[in-house]
Structure 1
């Protein structure tokens, strides 16, 4: 399964990042296509995106972890199934980057990410995956984060060199990315 996290408020960008366009394609279209090319099936989008198989956030305001928990509650994974979780705002990722994550998932409960970046995340589900997500989200004291969730799994951290992990969070990020990538699209 592939999950595109696209349910955020996009407050720094000032508009829905999923609908931003680069070279005539939305970031959401790009993320879904990337997961498809990487072999993920089915592909589910967190947030309200009726053009796709999407799941509205049940954990509103809880960030990427809330989006992931919402998707897994609505579309449960069987134990041992692989999952790629991709933020909608990282258009520099390649199929080979996602393949590296999935190659690390050799046992139930395994997870993989790139050094210094909790997303994208490769995950191999086990019986307790959703329970661990929801326990973190219900904790009123500690921050609900993908990093905290990943620490509950058998995590492999991959070197991040030659992987474009930039997130487009503000208009200046989008402009800079567009200028740098102009000839590559």
Structure 2
């Protein structure tokens, strides 16, 4: 166990804490839930940075880090869909979660073909993640029944932009994979 892997494990351990805090009826529980999610989002960046900086990359970390990210985002979106039960919000959440499943399967399959680097994280994927983390953190913090509607509306827009970037990045990954697949099919 090294520092980056410990941060990844912390992110996974924060998931049930996030759910519990989200539902417990104490003062500022939504703000505390947002802080928990923000801490998890920061550890997502920090564990990768430290793994490279300290030379502590590992096969376990390469496996667990994306799993922790997808679990945290998916659980947070499910919590938010309950609170913001509109078709547009639900579709955005489904797009984000669905893309994560598709890209995870694609990366696994490309790794089996020895072509994992052809579906490495792209710049658009990083931008998508930033929009997603900001939107989810903000939406966890605001209570639409008490907080100003302008803030919730702005955060919805940020989440919808994240969903659009999610689709765009998915197509970038699929296009890269398609090139590899076509080349392999020509050889058989």
| TM-score, structure 2 normalization | 0.27
Larger radius of gyration: 2
Higher helix share: 2
| TM-score, structure 1 normalization | 0.28
Higher strand share: 1
